[in-house]
Amino acid sequence: MKKVILGIGALFILFVAGLVVLMTVDFNRLNKDTYYAHITTDGEVEEYKASNGEIFKTYWYEIPTYNKNGEEKTLKFSAQKNLRHDAYLKLYVKKETEVTSYDEVKFHELPAKVQDQMK
């Protein structure tokens, strides 16, 4: 009987730990390459209408980005809002061109080689 209770308790703990991992880990950023970008213009607006008549906007950006070694690559990505001018972004990229997520960062948080490229 004690073994059954211990087994059920262990399964419950594993279940709770799994839920915590799923809630806290952002899989869009996990094991991705990082590139850095400087937003200087508005995104290209794409509007589409949902079946209920509501209009949604997507803002597309195609801009030069830099990896931590200062190597340049042009990437295209979308945002659900028009990004702030003069913002620095850390882009998370998989399969060399697919941006899965981004974070806004401060200029001093950029790698030194990237700062040199963006001055």
Q: pLDDT at position 69, please?
A: 82
Domain total of the chain: 2
78-111 per-position pLDDT tens digit: 888 888 888 888 888 888 777 788 888 888 888 8
pTM of the predicted protein model: 0.71
SS3 4: helix
106 and 57 fall within a common domain: yes
19 and 69 fall within a common domain: no
14-57 per-position pLDDT tens digit: 877 777 766 666 555 556 778 888 888 888 888 888 888 888 88
**Looking at residue 87, which CATH number applies to its domain?**
2.40.50.480
